Structure 1
């Protein structure tokens, strides 16, 4: 049991380290990344956005737009989500992707995205996943 717990802890640490590193976009100013590819590169380590019961380190984001925060069935959220009395919309997703820790102190998600264009592309992709 202890080795399982330590294995999970190592996995979380490795994912956290990967999430902290924002993946740069192509340097060609004319190249707009495909939203699905951008989501896969920026969020896919911890999330999927496909109709499925699969969860990774984070909840499945299929249908997240318009869903009440912290309510994906079977996913264990951090304690701060118990106080989240709102649904995921553009404003909440943008704020979350900008700085999850400021929005919900103690949240496990360490990824953040400083580039508003990348955030809006990810949000647009999530809006389409229903």
Structure 2
């Protein structure tokens, strides 16, 4: 049996944009022109008041929020949305800090 094989290249680790596409893009867009999906557009989310995206109807719990999205709030939100906003309907949770950090870094690039 022949065993001469070329070594496979090392797998490239995913970046924030790839992770977003894999884990978030089903429900969210990253621009202001695509139709709203199940969740609001995340274009320019960093620095935006929570619950205030044009064209998106938020849940009653979300509409009552009074904070601005920053790194810490986004990290807490991706970790456990219902802890940040009781009654929130987002089901996604990300347990890995490094994955959350890459997604948040990507969202910051959209500002």
Shorter-chain TM-score category?
A: 0.7 to 0.9
**What's the offset of the Cα at 1:84?**
1.2
State which of 108, 122, 125 in structure 1 corresponds to 2:89: 108
For structure 2, the residue ranges without an aligned partner over 5 or more in a row are: 1-9
Q: Distance in 1 between matches of 2:81 and 2:67?
A: 15
SS at match of 2:98: helix
In angstroms, what is the RMSD of aligned CA positions? 1.5
Equivalent residue, structure 2, for 1:57: 38
For structure 1, the residue ranges without an aligned partner over 5 or more in a row are: 1-28
**What's the offset of the Cα at 1:34?**
2.3
Q: Is the aligned partner of 1:36 residue 2:22?
A: no
TM-score normalised by L of structure 2: 0.85
**What's the offset of the Cα at 1:30?**
6.7
TM-score normalised by L of structure 1: 0.73
State which of 92, 100, 121 in structure 1 corresponds to 2:73: 92
Report which of the two has the higher share of helix.
1
After superposition, give the CA deviation of every residue in 1:27-66 in whole Å (9 maximum; x if it has no partner).
xx97321221110001011001123252100000001111
